[in-house]
């Protein structure tokens, strides 16, 4: 990577006018949050930021937020005026929630110069930097190359093999109650619980006030949840969004995740052929 995966509001403010910098607003919220990312973007966004709609940029034919075909992603990025050679900074309105998913998508499609604004829009505003409203004029169309790293995208069979053989830790970023099956899943037809043998590391444990915790604190969180960053890891969650927060944390530690399970619990929990466990976290192998 040419740059660290996280940048600060001050770092971005100093470089915002650079011709090779493009800022993406990747805000996305759970339906229960009661927030409208499009309306919030129109009300206030980082000057010049382009709206990146995760739903619109995904393949929604079967499951939520699935990766689109490379040619589809490339076409949509070109339409946004994003091209090869640009450094892309992604943020969201929560602080650190959906931006890592956009970062992971970009990286998986071959964009090496992609990073996340630590603390997102709240950190930008708290630092006293300006925002603008409305929709900015899109840049001219640019050539964008998308080369999918197939190894970075796990499917259900990959996860099943990892769980059976122990060749990788499967780390679930959902909350403890959802992981243990104490809460109903928000999507119809999806059973509560978790994959037998998976480990639970709630994404919120990696954050502090909308920022990713510092490296030493991240290592502590991983250890407390039975996860060894030095061993291969496949991340998962409800629909592939917060799993990317775990992937981002691992990247900052210099221990990139092996893969992210794109279908996540939306796929596994709905497939009656896949086993489901409930109750406390099972100890790591």
Torsion of CA 99, 101, 102, 104, to 10 degrees: 120
- At 47, is the pLDDT very low, low, confident or very high (cuts 50, 70, 90)? very high
Percentage of the chain lying above the pLDDT 90 cut: 88
Distances (CA, A) of 81 to 86, 99, 121, 156, 202: 10, 19, 22, 34, 35
What confidence score (pLDDT) does residue 1 get? 43
Least-confidence region, from 59-68, 107-116, 119-128, 151-160: 59-68
160: pLDDT strictly greater than 50? yes
Q: Which domains does the chain have, with CATH numbers?
A: 6-148 (3.40.250.10), 151-268 (3.40.250.10)
What confidence score (pLDDT) does residue 282 get? 52
Instruction: Select from 186, 187, 224, 217 the least CA-distant residue to 202.
Output: 224
137: pLDDT strictly greater than 80? no
What confidence score (pLDDT) does residue 63 get? 80
| 3 within 8 A of 115, measured Cβ to Cβ | yes
Instruction: Say whether pTM exceeds 0.85.
Output: yes
Model confidence over 56-104: pLDDT tens digits? Answer: 999 977 788 899 999 999 999 999 999 999 999 999 999 999 999 999 9
Model confidence over 233-271: pLDDT tens digits? Answer: 999 999 999 999 999 999 999 999 999 999 999 999 999
What confidence score (pLDDT) does residue 281 get? 67
Least-confidence region, from 52-61, 111-120, 229-238, 269-278: 52-61
283: pLDDT strictly greater than 50? no
β-bridge partners, 276: none
What confidence score (pLDDT) does residue 285 get? 39
- Over its C-alpha atoms, the chain yields an Rg (Å, rounded) of 18
CA dist 85 and 177 (Å) reads: 43
- What is the overall mean pLDDT for the chain? 94
Q: What is the full DSSP assignment across 32-69?
A: GG---HHHHHHH-B-TT-EE--TTTTSB-SSSTTBPPP
* Three-state secondary-structure class, residue 241: coil
179: pLDDT strictly greater than 50? yes
Query: Is 237 annotated in the active site?
Result: yes
- The active-site residue, picked from 227, 237, 245, 257, is 237
Mean pLDDT of 208-229: 98
CA dist 219 and 239 (Å) reads: 25
- At 284, is the pLDDT very low, low, confident or very high (cuts 50, 70, 90)? very low
């Amino acid at each position: 990577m040419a740059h660290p995966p996280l940048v600060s509001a001050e770092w971005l403010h100093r470089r915002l006018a650079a011709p090779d910098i493009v800022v993406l607003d990747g805000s996305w919220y759970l339906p229960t949050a009661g927030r409208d990312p499009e309306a919030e973007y129109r009300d206030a966004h980082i000057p010049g930021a382009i709206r990146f709609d995760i739903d619109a940029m995904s393949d929604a034919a079967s499951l939520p937020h699935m990766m689109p075909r490379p040619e589809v992603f490339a076409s949509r990025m070109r339409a946004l005026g994003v091209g090869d050679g640009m450094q892309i900074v992604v943020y969201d309105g929560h602080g650190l929630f959906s931006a890592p998913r956009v970062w992971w998508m970009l990286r998986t499609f071959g964009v090496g110069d992609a990073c996340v604004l630590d603390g997102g829009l709240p950190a930008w505003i708290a630092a006293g930097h300006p925002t603008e409203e409305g929709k900015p004029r899109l840049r001219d169309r640019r050539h964008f190359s998308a080369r999918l790293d197939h190894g970075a995208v796990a499917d259900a069979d990959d996860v099943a093999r990892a769980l059976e053989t122990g060749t990788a830790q499967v780390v679930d970023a959902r909350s403890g109650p959802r992981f243990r099956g104490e809460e109903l899943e928000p999507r119809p037809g999806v059973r509560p619980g978790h994959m037998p043998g998976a480990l639970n590391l709630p994404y919120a444990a990696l954050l502090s006030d909308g920022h990713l915790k510092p490296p030493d604190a991240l290592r502590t969180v991983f250890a407390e949840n039975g996860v060894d960053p030095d061993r291969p890891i496949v991340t998962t969650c409800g629909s592939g969004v917060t799993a990317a927060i775990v992937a981002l944390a691992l990247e900052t530690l210099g221990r990139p995740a092996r893969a992210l399970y794109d279908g996540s619990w939306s796929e596994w929990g709905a497939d009656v052929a896949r086993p489901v466990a409930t109750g406390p976290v099972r100890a790591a192998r």
